[in-house]
Structure 1
Amino acid sequence: MKKIKIFIDKYFLTKIEKFNPHLYRFMTYNLFKVYSEIVNSIKYKDKYFFHSISLEISTYCNRKCDYCPNKDYETPKEFMSWEIFKHVVEELKKINYTGIFQYHLFNEPLFDDRLVEFSKYVSLHLPNVTQVLISNGDILDISKAKELSEAGIDKFVVTVHDRNPEKNLERLKPIKKFLKYKMRLQTTNELYLANRGGSVDIENEKRKAQFKKCPDIRTLIITKDGDVILCCQDYFKKYVMGNVMEKSLLDIWNSYKDLREKLLKHNIVELPICKTCLNRK
């Protein structure tokens, strides 16, 4: 299945991206949504089973973007332990997980020197997942891109966060040329923005994200401490569903199944963070 996804991305979706980035994002999201619902219905008897996982391998980010909560808070350099990382991989291996494996949560993963080793470990134990690096690209160069690609990173999603991105885009072009279809290079000017569950005020922005149903509740978010939190918009980590070192991933995931189904099936909103989040209006 991974080969099929890569083939579609390489020979179909990336060609669309060249002339219409918005259509590319729309098709990528919706094709993957339909695909994952079919696979999960067969594999796990649950169409809303998580189709992607995001790990906070470290907490530091070098940026203070005005649409991110990090702009108002210090981001210390704290790291997920190898013990927790390996345990998460082992838990995913038990359920034959083959979805997306992302390195990202309000941080810049490239500042973690262990990223290459992490990627190699995932490639060895979860060879059918799609490893995705989400980065601002500030410290990415061809040498690092080559090393990460060879280690197992399948997709580099690099967003240039400058209001005038031309200089940085020019710097990243050789890396994009080297990685080819493996790299999606975009600017924040192309993106729809979210208010991070109410933690950021973007009332003056024109590009507020709006979805009929929550797009984030089907991603499993694991913090550096092994806590599973509600979704990627929970910056303050208020809604902890459980800890992977204390319960199995499946037990944690199933513990808030009713909440997910209310959101996804009926758009019923109960939690304060969901009521203020632009991602579900």
Structure 2
Amino acid sequence: MKQRSDFPRSILVETTLRCPADCIFCPNKKITERPMDMPWELFRHIVDDCRNRGVEEFHPFINGEPLASHYLEDALAYIKQILPGTAVHIYTNGSLLDDRTGEMLLRNNVREVHFSIDGVSKSVYEQHRRGLVYERVIANVMAFLERLKKHPAKVGTRVVLTMTPENEAEVPEFRKFWEGLVDIVDVIPCDGRGGEGRLPAYGDARKMGCFHVDYRTYILTDGSVVACCKDWAGYTVLGNVKESSLESIWNSAEYRQLRSDVSRGVFGNFEVCRRCVSDSL
């Protein structure tokens, strides 16, 4: 993906904060200072702002379960209409992925689906993904993968395990179970979520810089623009798309300084970077 351009090539939009899960490492339930759902008019405005700008990826998700959004189907259809060449990625815990929703994702040309599954046994999974039922989630994912076999277009799939002390022992069996069923199996050490998570950073998570900062940006439900997905609390807000164009925010002196700092390994000038312990960005 091209870097250092005058417009972000990858856009993540927080369409909703709704989520049926209460995961042990996730600060989602702590977010109370911004709207539960991004207004539909604001979402359309963001997509319109990306028209003819060479956006390569669009992710209608940051903090929350995208399948819980009241307007996800309309959002995907609008992206397909306005940004026809853009790859849409969906991240889901799988709990709401019924047959109708799976068919809707494929009908709207979703390019890749990421499943967050933090264990290979019922006890460990449900310890991490509180409020979800392991058998139901696995059945939903398997049904979707079976549906993909009949789908004419290629749709990428991956499962992601967030590694903690409680599930690390299951990693080999997790890989064995999922390899061959999905395209990619990711194991990512819990990174503490920029200081806002319920668990501290674990394992190999450490401050190494950000892999996406040169080409990716993040927009929260209230229109605030932040530099990374770990900024759950909006510690470093670089602008708001309700007040300024995304292009002007991306090219602002402050945002350029942040990108320059990160590329040089300087993490002390911005609050979100000072709090971060992550090599997974």
Distance 1:216 1:67, change over 3 A: farther
- 1:262 aligned partner, one-letter code: D
Residue 253 of structure 1 pairs with residue 227 of structure 2: no
Aligned to 1:164: 125
Residue 267 of structure 1 pairs with residue 251 of structure 2: no
The answer (yes or no) to whether the contact 1:60–1:75 under 8 Å persists in 2 is no
- How far the C-alpha of 1:230 sits from its partner, in A, is 2.7
- How far the C-alpha of 1:261 sits from its partner, in A, is 1.3
Bigger relative contact order (CA 8 A; separation at least 6): 2
5 Å-filtered alignment, 1:54-203, equals 54-70=12-28, 72=30, 78-95=36-53, 97-161=54-118, 163-164=124-125, 167=135, 168-180=137-149, 181-189=155-163, 190-200=187-197, 202-203=199-200
Aligned to 2:166: none
- How far the C-alpha of 1:216 sits from its partner, in A, is 4.6
Which stretch shifts more, 229-238 or 172-181? 172-181
Please list the CA deviations of residues 196-229 of structure 1 after superposition, one character each: whole Å capped at 9, or x if unmatched: 11112534x6444336321353421111121112
4+ residue runs of structure 1 moved beyond 4 angstroms?
71-77
Please list the CA deviations of residues 97-129 of structure 1 after superposition, one character each: whole Å capped at 9, or x if unmatched: 231100211101111131111101110110111
Question: Which blocks of at least 5 consecutive residues in structure 1 are unaligned?
Answer: 1-35
The answer (yes or no) to whether the contact 1:133–1:156 under 8 Å persists in 2 is yes
Aligned to 1:277: 276
Q: In structure 1, how many angstroms separate the alpha carbons of the residues matched to 2:34 and 2:8?
A: 29
The answer (yes or no) to whether the contact 2:31–2:232 under 8 Å persists in 1 is no
TM-score (norm 1): 0.75
The answer (yes or no) to whether the contact 2:35–2:222 under 8 Å persists in 1 is no
- How far the C-alpha of 1:93 sits from its partner, in A, is 0.7
Q: 1:224 aligns with which of 218, 221, 226?
A: 221
The answer (yes or no) to whether the contact 1:157–1:184 under 8 Å persists in 2 is yes
Q: In structure 1, how many angstroms separate the alpha carbons of the residues matched to 2:34 and 2:49?
A: 28
- 1:182 aligned partner, one-letter code: G
- How far the C-alpha of 1:71 sits from its partner, in A, is 5.3
Please list the CA deviations of residues 141-187 of structure 1 after superposition, one character each: whole Å capped at 9, or x if unmatched: 22211112112322111112452376333442121122254332344
Is the partner of 2:11 in helix, strand or coil?
strand
The answer (yes or no) to whether the contact 2:117–2:125 under 8 Å persists in 1 is no
- 1:268 aligned partner, one-letter code: V
- How far the C-alpha of 1:193 sits from its partner, in A, is 1.9
Aligned length: 236
Residue 236 of structure 1 pairs with residue 233 of structure 2: yes
Aligned to 1:26: none
Q: CA RMSD in A?
A: 2.6
Is the partner of 2:235 in helix, strand or coil?
coil
Is the partner of 2:90 in helix, strand or coil?
strand
- How far the C-alpha of 1:276 sits from its partner, in A, is 2.6
The answer (yes or no) to whether the contact 2:116–2:159 under 8 Å persists in 1 is yes
Distance 1:76 1:86, change over 3 A: closer
Percent of residue pairs identical? 26
TM-score (norm 2): 0.75
Q: In structure 2, how many angstroms separate the alpha carbons of the residues matched to 1:76 and 1:64?
A: 19
